[in-house]
Amino acid sequence: MKNSLIALANDAIGAVRDLLPIVVVISAFQIFVFREPVTGLVSLAIGAVFVVAGLTFFIFGLRLALFPVGESLAHALAEKGSVFWLITFAFVLGFGTTIAEPALIAIAAEAAQVAASAGAIESSDEAKSNYALGLRLTVALAVGAALVLGVMRILANWSLPVLIIGGYCLVVLLTTVAPKEIVGVAYDSGGVTTSTVTVPLVTALGVGLAGSLSGRNPMTDGFGLIAFASLTPILFVLTFGIIVQWI
| Minimum CB distance to other proteins, residue 143 (Å) | 10
Cβ contact 32:166 at 8 Å: no
By the 10 Å C-beta count (0-12 exposed, 13-18 middle, 19+ buried), 82 is classed as: exposed
| Minimum CB distance to other proteins, residue 51 (Å) | 4
| Minimum CB distance to other proteins, residue 164 (Å) | 6
| Minimum CB distance to other proteins, residue 77 (Å) | 7
User: With binding defined as CB under 8 A, does residue 55 bind other proteins?
Assistant: yes
Please select the residue that binds other proteins; options are 6, 9, 31, 38, rule is CB under 8 A: 38
Please select the residue that binds other proteins; options are 148, 226, 235, 244, rule is CB under 8 A: 226
**Considering only residues 11-30, where is the footprint of other proteins by CB under 8 A?**
14, 17-22, 24-26, 29
| Minimum CB distance to other proteins, residue 243 (Å) | 18
Cα–Cα distance measured from residue 95 to residue 226, given in angstroms and rounded to the nearest whole number: 13
Nearer to other proteins, 172 or 247 (CB): 172
- AA identity, residue 111: A
Cα–Cα distance measured from residue 209 to residue 231, given in angstroms and rounded to the nearest whole number: 21
**Considering only residues 68-97, where is the footprint of other proteins by CB under 8 A?**
68-70, 73, 76-77, 80, 85, 89, 92-93, 95-97
Other C-beta atoms lying within 10 Å of the C-beta of residue 9: 12
Cα–Cα distance measured from residue 206 to residue 220, given in angstroms and rounded to the nearest whole number: 10
**Considering only residues 147-206, where is the footprint of other proteins by CB under 8 A?**
160-161, 164-165, 168, 171-172, 175, 180-181, 183-185, 187-188, 190-197, 199-200, 203
Give the torsion sign (CA, 105, 244, 235, 118). negative
Nearer to other proteins, 42 or 247 (CB): 42
Please select the residue that binds other proteins; options are 6, 9, 65, 243, rule is CB under 8 A: 65
User: What's the Cα-to-Cα distance from 121 to each of 125, 236, 239, rounded to whole Å?
Assistant: 11, 19, 17
Nearer to other proteins, 32 or 246 (CB): 32
Q: Please state the φ and ψ torsions of residue 9, each to the nearest 5 degrees.
A: -65, -40
Q: How far is CA 57 from the centre of its chain?
A: 19
Nearer to other proteins, 65 or 243 (CB): 65
User: With binding defined as CB under 8 A, does residue 31 bind other proteins?
Assistant: no
Interface characters, 127-146, with other proteins (x: CB under 8 A): --------------------
| Minimum CB distance to other proteins, residue 17 (Å) | 5
Cα–Cα distance measured from residue 77 to residue 213, given in angstroms and rounded to the nearest whole number: 12
Nearest to 103 by CA among 193, 20, 229: 193
